[in-house]
A and B are shown apart, each in its own frame.
Chain A
């Protein structure tokens, strides 16, 4: 295992080295606009075998391919009209477009329907690398199945036994990446273009989109959002996940939510406790989670009781990205058990020091 700290001076050299490793069937860890990915040359069967061993991913689960441009993508998949539109509108960007595979890449990367996900990362360094390589590489997050989505190299190393880390031939360390959700995955081979995994890009129309200028307004927004969308709809499990930077006002929003639910306790940041649980007077439970300081998903998994994923509960997650896979699995399990789930994604952006743009998108799962 070799770890290269990327800076302005060694960028070109790092790319040359990464290309060499990939062509020799090795695995690299590389940065993207979402999280760190683990890359294997998509056309090299030895490399793909190594990748699957590293990921410990259940058989039959597809792995998408990152390429530099549309021209390269066309060698891998058939791009139909729908895919064509998406390419033009969103790529490069955090969107994985699922198309019919031309079986040019190792077929173990395909889904059971022989489709393949293609993505063009919006990350200058990685795009240059892919251009130089002239081929596609696997674009799956660098964690093993079920572990924390990695936004720093430490996230990967801390959750890997040494023998796993040894499998990674070259780590391209770009420091800590912003904690953005993973890419949205959309299937263009079905009639109605299904979103397979919701992520950074949303195709749903926001239910709320507004700009606010004070803490008080943020609390009010949390209250009105809850009154309109949660109260009285208690037959479902509600999941609220936040996509926002530090200090954007997530906890303020949650104060408003709690107020609307009739919780009298002060809502404090759950950063240190990972999870705070509140009872509302009409028998609901509000579970407030923060993954900011979480070292491994196992920590959260232990405190996150199965019983939370039931009707009438509200689970709100700050920094949801890091635990996304685990939350998704638990949610799927709940759905299998007959629980109805409504998910809200709350995005908060700084427009300047005191103003924020908020976008809330609702999806049924």
Chain B
């Protein structure tokens, strides 16, 4: 620990308040945490902000983020103060901000905002890897302090399962902040496959949620839909072949006549079983190899109840501990997970100077920041 950095910390034994900022993609999010508890977690497209722009359309544009950020910060403070009266800008111990992976222009706006805040209140700045946020989101405590788990109490090794629109990877957590990517997608991400298949079936975009709903009414055995990399021992994911198989099936069927509602449901159900079976195949394979004690789930695809059920069943059978965030809002891109990583980095006085912080669009979990 750098001595200078350590000196920047204050009230070491008391509550630690972190302001988290995430602008990695098309949402602007700001959160405030107290230790490992989430006091406020505002996401621009999901929260009905009373200020002026309820139901904001996600937009990666720099100006859109710039316009939203001050309002989202204000909303986060107003919400957090309702839970803990001592929350105010002057009480914040540090600002944690996503530096990557993500879209460079969008990341830049969050970083700019974080620097301004840190300078204004003379507090340290913390760089956070967005993917580490997803990984740790499983351990956050709610605003009453319940359901959380201190990261330092994890039984190693643990296996992180990160599944979203842009990522599909299994991460072996060997030790405190020691990560190894043991499987990742060779082509499309799992969430991307959901969205693309949903669009083929005429369920709109983003359509993953609609597809999951349709799948509930379908018979997954009606159509023969292949499980990706079946019998293939590669430690990797591939969703593009499944997408192609579905595209061809739907195309051929549509040439004959428009799909019925039941057919759409049956295809959706068949796709979902294959897509999730592929995930479970790889989790099974790598669990046998690395023997983790705990499985952590993170990323937008965790919102899918069928995915959670399949992983839960697996963990029960293998007697593994399973962790995922206490609220759906923490599966998707959000700033609470960034603040949470920020909290643990704060305890280690792992800070970044304001003139050294930089965006890192293609950051991976194995790159230490």
Interface residues, chain A, with chain B CB atoms under 8 Å away: 215, 245-249, 251-252, 266, 268-269, 271-274, 276-277, 292-293, 295, 298-299, 302-303, 350, 352-353
Closest 7 CB pairs of A and B: A247-B244, A272-B166, A247-B247, A269-B188, A353-B248, A272-B165, A246-B247
B251 touches A299 (CB 8 A): no
Q: Is the C-beta of B61 less than 8 angstroms from some C-beta in chain A?
A: yes
Chain A nearest CB, measured from B234 CB (Å):
12
Interface size in chain B (residues, C-beta < 8 A): 37
Interface residues, chain B, with chain A CB atoms under 8 Å away: 25, 57, 59-62, 101-105, 165-166, 184-189, 191-192, 195-196, 200, 205-206, 240-241, 243-248, 251, 361-362
Known A215-B241, A246-B243, A251-B240; judge A273-B103 contact (CB<8 A).
yes
A251 touches B59 (CB 8 A): no
User: CA A295 – CA B246 in complex, angstroms?
Assistant: 24
User: CA A251 – CA B188 in complex, angstroms?
Assistant: 9
Chain A nearest CB, measured from B62 CB (Å):
6
User: CA A268 – CA B205 in complex, angstroms?
Assistant: 21
A247 touches B103 (CB 8 A): no
Chain B nearest CB, measured from A161 CB (Å):
14
B184 touches A302 (CB 8 A): no
Residue of B nearest to A294 (CB): B60
A246 contact set on B, CB distance < 8 A:
196, 200, 243-244, 247
User: Of the candidates A268, A293, A299, which one forms a contact with B185 in the assembled complex, judged by CB atoms under 8 Å apart?
Assistant: A268
B60 touches A247 (CB 8 A): no
User: CA A303 – CA B200 in complex, angstroms?
Assistant: 27
B244 contact set on A, CB distance < 8 A:
246-249
Residue of A nearest to B167 (CB): A272
A298 contact set on B, CB distance < 8 A:
61
A292 contact set on B, CB distance < 8 A:
196
B240 touches A252 (CB 8 A): yes
Chain B nearest CB, measured from A179 CB (Å):
11
User: Of the candidates A245, A299, A350, A353, which one forms a contact with B60 in the assembled complex, judged by CB atoms under 8 Å apart?
Assistant: A299
A274 contact set on B, CB distance < 8 A:
60, 103
Q: List 14 A-B contacts (CB under 8 A).
A: A245-B247, A245-B251, A246-B247, A247-B247, A248-B244, A249-B244, A251-B187, A268-B186, A269-B189, A274-B60, A292-B196, A293-B195, A293-B206, A302-B105
A303 touches B251 (CB 8 A): no
A248 contact set on B, CB distance < 8 A:
244
User: CA A292 – CA B192 in complex, angstroms?
Assistant: 11
User: CA A292 – CA B197 in complex, angstroms?
Assistant: 13
Residue of A nearest to B197 (CB): A246
Inter-chain pairs besides A247-B240, A302-B60, 9 sampled, C-beta below 8 Å = A246-B200, A251-B187, A266-B186, A271-B192, A272-B189, A277-B361, A295-B59, A298-B61, A303-B104
Known A252-B240, A266-B186; judge A299-B59 contact (CB<8 A).
yes
B248 contact set on A, CB distance < 8 A:
247, 350, 352-353
Residue of A nearest to B104 (CB): A303
Residue of B nearest to A246 (CB): B247
Residue from B102, B191, B192, B243 with most neighbouring chain A CB atoms (10 Å): B192
Chain A nearest CB, measured from B107 CB (Å):
11
User: Of the candidates B25, B57, B187, B241, which one forms a contact with A268 in the assembled complex, judged by CB atoms under 8 Å apart?
Assistant: B187
User: CA A353 – CA B251 in complex, angstroms?
Assistant: 10
A247 contact set on B, CB distance < 8 A:
240, 243-248
Chain A nearest CB, measured from B184 CB (Å):
7
Residue of A nearest to B246 (CB): A247
Chain A nearest CB, measured from B295 CB (Å):
24
User: CA A293 – CA B195 in complex, angstroms?
Assistant: 10
Residue of B nearest to A298 (CB): B61
B62 contact set on A, CB distance < 8 A:
302
User: CA A348 – CA B243 in complex, angstroms?
Assistant: 16
B192 touches A266 (CB 8 A): no
B200 touches A269 (CB 8 A): no
User: CA A353 – CA B246 in complex, angstroms?
Assistant: 10
Chain A nearest CB, measured from B134 CB (Å):
14
Residue of A nearest to B243 (CB): A247
Chain B nearest CB, measured from A326 CB (Å):
14
User: CA A247 – CA B238 in complex, angstroms?
Assistant: 12
Chain B nearest CB, measured from A118 CB (Å):
32
Chain B nearest CB, measured from A165 CB (Å):
15
User: Of the candidates B57, B59, B103, B195, which one forms a contact with A303 in the assembled complex, judged by CB atoms under 8 Å apart?
Assistant: B103
User: CA A153 – CA B243 in complex, angstroms?
Assistant: 25
User: CA A62 – CA B298 in complex, angstroms?
Assistant: 52
Residue from B62, B244, B251 with most neighbouring chain A CB atoms (10 Å): B244
A293 contact set on B, CB distance < 8 A:
195, 205-206
User: CA A266 – CA B189 in complex, angstroms?
Assistant: 13
Chain A nearest CB, measured from B181 CB (Å):
11
User: CA A293 – CA B101 in complex, angstroms?
Assistant: 18
Residue of A nearest to B195 (CB): A293
Residue of A nearest to B251 (CB): A350
Residue of B nearest to A266 (CB): B186
A295 contact set on B, CB distance < 8 A:
57, 59
User: CA A352 – CA B104 in complex, angstroms?
Assistant: 40
Known A247-B243, A251-B240, A353-B245; judge A269-B103 contact (CB<8 A).
no
